[in-house]
Structures are given as structure tokens and as C-alpha cells.
């Protein structure tokens, strides 16, 4: 097993010998080969690679959105190999996910969308969760927009609401799949910087898939993937 | 986890109210279904109720009818002697022979013929507990006099108006001229859309008896001495009398008439079918609305799953949507139903109205309809796969 940060005592995510196949019978095709990877608290790791190399598949496996078939995937102390639905759900609640599309609920206001994330946090009253949602939106620079429906917001604003929603559940890991793909260059850059700031502020590790070479500099660590294999195991950037 | 119980964003409510067009269609569908059910079931009950309106009023504990009579529209004659035989029992206090039949009445204005239910009785007897009858029945002592039901259908002629304007109203019944002496209030039913009351003698004359006598009757009313049990007496009489008559207690007589309309005709079935059609149409509309709602929001529902919401949470949202729809669709349906009943009452004189039993029943049907539609639409939620939204 290749441990990337051997000094770190409790990695949030540790993957060893992960293989994944799609399809059945003749159609069965391997897309991930013997992956080893760890994600430590507070890190921001960027994953890039050519289209179809398996980045999204890896992300859905870590996010407990897909059943792990082979190898070990330990996330927040839970083994996801052939994990049950209840385990998957528990892991999902402790992770924030940001998609290429914002996927906000169209019928809810910005604040209500964020609160859909906050509602997953146990122990807080409705009012506290509501306040938390409004505060998060303010941190995302959307102070005056919390009563607006997604249709009244720009793409960048929607993506920022989506980030606030992902952070609202107090996640320890944030998974993002090309969150800037649907945005123009400048907005994309802003959103990523905001994401980084928020992740640091909320002590949240980030694993982000991106194609965008201009934002690679925000990463603490870069991962390169090709044909289902991690090629550059480590490429620390001097920020 | 107490997750489902605490206050959360009212997602079902927001889904419905922030898509007003869709909500309006769903509510219209439910309202339509409810209205149709109120209409059909209301008519059914009113008609069954009306079919025994006059039966209820008979002043009797036990009744005799011919064993070949099957309902008020096919009352067969039986020997009057049977009633006199019954009168010899010590439990019997008094008896009243009654004639009963559908006779052809000619509209006094237009002359067009129509069958009217005529009931003939001895004006000295007190056979119907009907308002205004006691004072007016003395007039029936005279021959060729009748009392006319003012709730009869207007096709029988403007009898009430003429009478009230002081005119003498005469009409032909089976080609015999009779004079309307007064008005009573009975109401129409399946069997009769008009009623008239007259004396035994006049009735017999209408049937062609020159001296107004007859040895046959269609209905024998028997009143018992206080304390006698109608059921026991009916059983005794049943065993004692020849089997050309049926002996019924009054409640059996009511049931006998209603059973005919319920089981020997398809009236009940037709109305139930009408109500079921409403239910099906409503269910299809609600299902369509909820189904397209789920389909339109699949990526959003998948996102909720990816965030850690369980399938149960989403199922609950759809269920809440269907319950909200049921509640909000029922309210206009209820008032529309009330309105329809009011209109029907004034147009047909049918005893139709919003009973609490009906209100609850239709609500239960709408509720069931919405829940079933919701359950069917939920199947589509399985397609919300959080792994496929990237
Ligand atoms: N549900 C699926 N069934 C079958 N094959 C799939 C499925 N999802 C992905 N694949 C295949 O697996 C491989 C990896 O897909 P994946 O989506 O992980 O790539 P990616 O690196 O995210 O690509 P992109 O940069 O275009 O998003 C691809 O060849 C793809 O065709
Ligand atoms: Mg991808």
C-alpha cells in the first residue's frame, strides 16, 4: 500500500487495491485498476486526467454512491467494500458533494436549498439550521439572495449555493466533480477560490476532479489519472 | 434516528405550490372526481330514499300485500277478505284496505297522458301521517275527488298554480273526469313521478266498477294493540293466512321496496359505476401529475439521495404531496357537491342533500385515490440513482 502522507495519523479516506468493473458477462470491462490513495484532514487534492479515465467513478465510490466491488475503501472510519445501505447513507451524510450541474431544488429558495443540507445535521433546532443556512450564504457572498429561487440566480451564484448546501451538513470531506465546468473562466476561478477558503475555514478536506489547468494552483496535492490508473502519485505544489 | 420527526423544510408543500399550473390541474382532477362521486352517490341514495317516501308515511305495524307483488310499480291485487281474516286476531286493533296503482292521467292543459301513482283509501281511516291530509281528506267523501301531490313533475300540468289562482282543476284519469280538491306533499321516486290520493270508491270507479265497490285491494294496513310485537304477529299471520298474500312488518315493507330497486334493477350498479369512473379519472390525473413531478425532479431527488436522504424520506415527500392534494382537492369538491345537490333538489324534488356520511365517504375515497396514485408514482423514484448524476 502506498501511503501518501505517512505522517498523518487518521486519514479521512484511505483506499487500497481498488478495482472496479462496469457491465456484465461479455460487456464486463475494468475501469479502475489497483488504486491506492489517502485523503488527510484539511487537504485540498485535485484529480485530473483525460475524459473517460475513471475520475467520476472513483468519486462515486468514495462518496458511497456506488457499491465498492473489490479492494478496500475506508471513509470516515467505515469500510465501504460491499457496505450496506445504512452504512452508505451514514457516510453520505458526513460528506458534501458538488456536481457539475448545481442540481438545486427548483422549488426551494437559496436558503431553503442550503437548509436541505443543514437539515441532515442532528441536534440543531429548525431556527438554528435556518440561521446556519443564511450565514453560510452570507459567507458565500450571497447575503441578499437567500430568498431567491434558483431560476433568479446566475450559474455562478447557483454553484455557490450548491457549495453552501454541501458545507451545511458539516461535512469532513467535500467531493467535487468539475464544479466549474458549467461556468465561465472568471466565475469558475472565483468559485474555486471560495471553495478553498470555505474548506479551510470549516476544516474540510476536498477532493476535486477538474480539467481546468488554470485552477490547479489552488491544490495542496495533484493526482493524475490515466486509463483507470493513478499515474502521478504525488505532485505537491509549492503554493 | 429521530430524523423524520423534527421540523424540516416543507418540501412537498413547496413542490406543489411553486408549480401552480400543475397544482391547478391536479386539483381540478380531484375536484372533478369528487363532484362526480357526490353526484352519482347522492343520486343513488336520494333515489333509494325517495322510493320509500310514501311507504314510510303509512300508519301501520304490519302490512299485507299480494304474494305476486314485487314492488310499488307492480302491486298486484289480492282478496280483501284476507285483511278481514287478519282483523279477527286479538292483537289487531284496526285495519285499513288500500288500493294502489299507476293510472293514466291526462295533463289538464295539454291533454298529454302520463302514468301517475294513485292511492285509494277510506277517507274515514287515518292511513298516512301526512301534513294537511287530516283536514283535506273529508273532501274525498265526494265522488271523483282527488288530492294532488304538489311535488309531482310539471309534466302533469300546472295543477298547483291553477288551484292557487282559484280555478277549479279537473283532469281525466283513465278517461274519467276527476276534480282536484287539494294539495299534499309526497315527492317523486323511481316508480312514480307524480302522486294522487283518492277514496277507495273513486279508485274503483276509475278502474271501471260502476258502483265503486271491489273485492280486491293491493295493500292491507294492520295496526296492532299497544304492546303487541309486530314481528310475532306477522309470523303468526303468515302461518295462518293462505299464501296468496305476503305478511310484512312495516320495516320489512320498506326494505322490500328498497331491495327491489337495489337488487332487481341495475340502478345501484349504474350509479356506483359512475362514481367509480370519477375515482378512476381522478386517480389517473393525480398519478400523471405526481409521476411527471417525480420525472422532472429526478436529478434533484438523486442529489438528495447523494446528500444522505433515504429512499424513505423521498417516499414520504411524495406521500405528503398526495395527501395535500387530497385535502385541497376535496374542499372545492365538497362545495361543488353541495351546490349540485341544491340545484338537483330544486329541479327534481328529489330528497338529495349532503349527509355527513356521504361527506366522509367521498373524502375517504379521494384520500385512497390520492394515496394509491402516490404509491404508483413512487415506483419512478427508484430511477433516481445518485451514482448517475455526475
Ligand atoms: N454506468 C456505467 N456503465 C458502464 N460504463 C460506464 C458507466 N459509467 C462510466 N462508464 C465507463 O467507465 C469509464 C470511466 O468513466 P468516468 O465517468 O469515471 O470517466 P471520467 O474520468 O469521469 O470522464 P469525464 O472526464 O469525461 O467525466 C468510461 O469509459 C465510461 O464509459
Ligand atoms: Mg466525469
B243-265 tens-digit pLDDT: 999 999 999 999 999 989 888 88
Ligand 1 atom index nearest CA of A29: 5
What is the layout of strands, in order, in the sheet containing A229-230?
A95-98, A173-177, A205-209, A44-48, A221-226, A229-230
What confidence tier does A232 reach under pLDDT thresholds 50, 70, 90? low
Q: Do A149 and B18 touch (CB under 8 A)?
A: yes
The answer to whether B23 and B17 have CB atoms below 8 angstroms apart is yes
Q: Do B387 and A117 touch (CB under 8 A)?
A: no
Is the model's pLDDT at A8 over the cut of 60? no
Interface check for A76 against chain B (CB to CB < 8 A): the answer is: no
Whose CA is closest to A233, among A30, A62, A47?
A47
Q: Tell me what the mean pLDDT of segment B21-40 comes to.
A: 93
Pick from A92, A97, A107: which is nearest to B14 by CB? A107
Interface check for A68 against chain B (CB to CB < 8 A): the answer is: no
Average pLDDT score over chain B: 92
Q: Do A126 and B7 touch (CB under 8 A)?
A: yes
- Is the ipTM reported for this complex over the cut 0.95? no
Q: A45 to chain B, minimum CA–CA distance in Å?
A: 18
Q: For A113, name the nearest residue in chain B, comparing CA atoms only.
A: B9
**In the prediction, which pLDDT does A212 show?**
82
pLDDT digits (tens, 9 = 90+) for B164-205: 999 999 999 998 999 999 999 998 887 888 999 999 999 999
Q: Do A56 and B390 touch (CB under 8 A)?
A: yes
**Partners of residue B14 in chain A, C-beta under 8 Å:** 105, 107-108, 112
Q: B368 to chain A, minimum CA–CA distance in Å?
A: 27
**What class, spelled out in words, does domain A43-65+91-235 have in CATH?**
alpha beta
**Partners of residue B15 in chain A, C-beta under 8 Å:** 107
Is the model's pLDDT at A99 over the cut of 70? yes
Q: A8 to chain B, minimum CA–CA distance in Å?
A: 27
**Which residues are within 8 A (CB) of A158 and not within 5 positions of it... i.e. 6 or more apart?**
A102, A104, A150
pLDDT digits (tens, 9 = 90+) for A40-81: 988 999 999 999 999 999 999 999 999 999 999 999 999 999
Find the Cα–Cα–Cα–Cα dihedral B202, B207, B213, B218, rounded to 10°. Answer: -100
Q: Tell me what the mean pLDDT of segment B35-44 comes to.
A: 92
Is the model's pLDDT at B313 over the cut of 50? yes
Pick from B1, B8, B300: which is nearest to A105 by CB? B300
What confidence tier does A233 reach under pLDDT thresholds 50, 70, 90? very low
Identify residues of B whose CB sits under 8 angstroms from chain A CBs. Answer: 1-3, 6-9, 11, 14-15, 18-19, 297, 299-300, 302-310, 386-387, 389-390
Length of chain A: 239
Residue B382 burial (CB count, 10 A): 8
| Percent of chain A residues past pLDDT 90, beyond the cut | 62
**In the prediction, which pLDDT does B212 show?**
86
Q: Do B390 and A126 touch (CB under 8 A)?
A: no
**Partners of residue A59 in chain B, C-beta under 8 Å:** 390
**In the prediction, which pLDDT does B1 show?**
40
What confidence tier does B5 reach under pLDDT thresholds 50, 70, 90? low
Q: Do A126 and B300 touch (CB under 8 A)?
A: no
The answer to whether A233 and A4 have CB atoms below 8 angstroms apart is yes
Domain ranges for chain B: 5-51+266-389, 62-227
Q: Tell me what the mean pLDDT of segment B49-57 comes to.
A: 89
Pick from A59, A93, A149: which is nearest to B308 by CB? A93
**In the prediction, which pLDDT does A3 show?**
43
- Ligand 1 contact, A53 CB (< 6 A): yes
Task: Please tell me the residue having the least CA distance from ligand 1 atom 18.
Answer: A54
| CA–CA gap between residue B364 and residue B354 (Å, rounded) | 15
User: Which region, left, alpha or beta, applies to residue A165 given φ > 0 means left and ψ of -120 to 50 means alpha?
Assistant: alpha
Pairing verdict, β A70-75 and A78-79 = antiparallel
Q: At what angle do helices A155-168 and A110-118 cross, to 10 degrees?
A: 20
Looking at per-residue pLDDT, the higher value among B2 and A198 belongs to: A198
Is the model's pLDDT at A109 over the cut of 90? yes
Q: For testing the chain B interface, which of A107, A111, A127 should be mutated: the one with the most B CBs within 10 Å?
A: A107
Pick from A89, A107, A166: which is nearest to B18 by CB? A107
**In the prediction, which pLDDT does A48 show?**
92
Is the model's pLDDT at B2 over the cut of 70? no
What confidence tier does B348 reach under pLDDT thresholds 50, 70, 90? confident
Q: For testing the chain B interface, which of A89, A131, A176 should be mutated: the one with the most B CBs within 10 Å?
A: A89
Pick from B307, B386, B389: which is nearest to A120 by CB? B307
CA distances from residue A220 to A224, A229, B196, B267 in whole angstroms, order as listed:
14, 20, 101, 81
Q: Do B306 and A90 touch (CB under 8 A)?
A: no
Q: A236 to chain B, minimum CA–CA distance in Å?
A: 27
**Partners of residue A94 in chain B, C-beta under 8 Å:** 308
pLDDT digits (tens, 9 = 90+) for A138-169: 988 898 998 999 999 999 899 999 999 999 98
Q: For A126, name the nearest residue in chain B, comparing CA atoms only.
A: B7
Q: For A87, name the nearest residue in chain B, comparing CA atoms only.
A: B308
Amino acid at each position: 500500500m502506498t501511503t501518501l502522507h505517512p505522517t498523518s495519523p487518521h486519514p479521512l479516506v484511505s483506499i487500497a487495491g481498488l478495482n472496479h468493473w462496469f457491465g456484465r458477462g461479455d460487456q464486463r470491462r475494468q475501469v479502475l485498476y489497483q488504486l491506492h490513495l489517502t485523503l488527510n484532514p484539511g487537504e485540498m487534492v485535485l484529480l485530473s486526467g483525460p475524459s473517460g479515465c475513471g475520475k467520476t467513478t472513483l468519486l462515486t465510490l468514495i462518496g458511497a454512491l456506488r457499491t465498492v466491488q473489490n479492494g478496500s475503501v475506508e471513509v470516515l472510519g467505515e469500510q465501504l467494500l460491499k457496505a450496506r445501505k445504512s452504512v452508505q447513507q451514514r457516510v453520505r451524510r458526513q460528506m458534501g458533494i458538488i456536481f457539475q450541474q448545481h442540481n438545486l431544488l427548483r422549488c426551494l429558495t437559496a436558503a431553503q436549498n442550503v437548509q436541505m443540507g443543514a437539515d441532515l445535521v442532528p441536534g440543531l433546532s429548525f431556527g438554528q439550521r435556518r440561521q446556519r443556512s443564511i450565514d453560510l450564504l452570507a459567507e458565500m457572498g450571497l447575503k441578499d439572495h437567500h430568498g431567491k429561487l434558483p431560476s433568479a440566480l446566475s450559474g455562478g451564484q447557483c454553484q455557490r449555493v450548491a457549495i453552501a448546501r454541501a458545507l451545511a451538513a458539516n461535512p469532513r470531506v467535500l467531493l467535487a466533480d468539475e464544479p466549474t465546468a458549467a461556468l465561465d473562466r472568471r466565475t469558475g476561478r472565483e468559485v474555486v477560490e471560495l471553495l478553498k477558503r470555505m474548506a479551510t475555514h470549516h476544516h474540510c478536506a476536498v477532493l476535486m476532479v477538474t480539467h481546468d489547468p488554470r485552477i490547479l494552483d489552488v491544490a495542496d496535492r495533484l493526482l493524475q489519472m490515466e486509463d483507470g490508473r493513478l499515474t502521478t502519485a504525488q505532485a505537491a505544489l509549492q503554493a | 434516528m429521530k430524523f423524520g420527526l423534527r421540523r424540516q423544510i416543507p418540501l412537498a408543500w413547496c413542490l406543489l405550490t411553486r408549480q401552480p399550473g400543475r397544482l391547478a390541474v391536479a386539483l381540478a382532477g380531484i375536484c372533478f372526481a369528487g363532484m362526480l362521486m357526490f353526484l352519482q352517490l347522492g343520486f343513488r341514495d336520494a333515489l333509494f330514499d325517495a322510493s320509500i317516501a310514501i311507504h314510510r308515511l303509512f300508519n301501520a305495524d304490519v302490512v299485507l300485500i299480494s304474494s305476486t307483488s314485487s314492488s310499488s310499480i307492480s302491486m298486484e291485487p289480492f282478496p280483501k277478505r284476507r285483511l278481514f281474516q287478519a282483523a279477527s286476531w286479538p292483537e289487531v286493533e284496526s285495519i285499513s284496505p288500500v288500493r294502489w296503482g299507476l293510472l293514466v292521467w291526462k295533463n289538464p292543459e295539454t291533454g298529454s297522458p302520463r302514468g301517475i301513482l294513485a292511492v285509494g283509501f277510506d277517507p274515514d281511516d287515518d292511513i298516512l301521517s301526512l301534513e294537511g291530509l287530516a283536514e283535506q281528506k273529508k273532501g274525498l267523501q265526494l265522488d271523483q275527488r282527488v288530492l294532488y301531490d304538489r311535488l309531482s313533475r310539471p309534466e302533469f300540468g300546472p295543477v298547483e298554480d291553477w288551484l292557487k289562482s282559484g280555478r277549479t282543476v279537473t283532469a281525466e284519469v283513465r278517461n274519467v273526469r276527476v276534480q282536484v280538491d287539494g294539495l299534499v306533499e309526497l315527492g317523486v321516486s323511481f316508480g312514480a313521478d307524480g302522486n294522487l290520493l283518492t277514496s277507495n270508491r273513486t279508485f274503483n270507479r276509475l278502474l271501471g266498477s260502476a258502483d265503486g265497490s271491489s273485492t280486491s285491494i293491493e295493500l292491507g294496513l294492520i295496526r296492532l294493540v299497544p304492546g303487541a310485537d309486530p314481528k310475532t304477529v306477522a309470523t303468526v299471520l303468515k302461518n295462518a293466512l293462505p299464501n296468496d298474500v305476503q305478511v310484512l312488518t312495516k320495516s320489512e315493507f320498506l326494505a322490500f321496496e328498497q331491495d327491489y330497486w337495489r337488487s332487481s334493477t341495475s340502478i345501484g350498479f349504474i350509479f356506483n359505476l359512475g362514481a367509480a369512473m370519477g375515482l378512476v379519472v381522478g386517480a389517473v390525473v393525480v398519478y400523471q401529475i405526481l409521476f411527471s413531478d417525480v420525472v422532472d425532479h429526478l436529478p434533484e431527488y438523486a442529489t438528495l439521495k447523494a446528500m444522505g436522504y433515504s429512499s424513505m424520506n423521498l417516499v414520504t415527500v411524495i406521500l405528503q404531496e398526495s395527501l395535500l392534494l387530497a385535502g385541497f382537492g376535496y374542499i372545492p369538491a365538497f362545495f361543488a357537491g353541495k351546490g349540485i345537490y341544491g340545484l338537483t333538489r330544486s329541479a327534481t324534488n328529489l330528497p338529495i342533500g349532503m349527509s355527513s356520511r356521504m361527506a366522509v365517504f367521498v373524502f375517504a375515497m379521494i384520500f385512497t385515490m390520492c394515496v394509491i396514485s402516490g404509491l404508483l408514482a413512487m415506483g419512478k423514484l427508484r430511477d433516481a440513482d445518485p451514482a448517475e448524476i455526475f
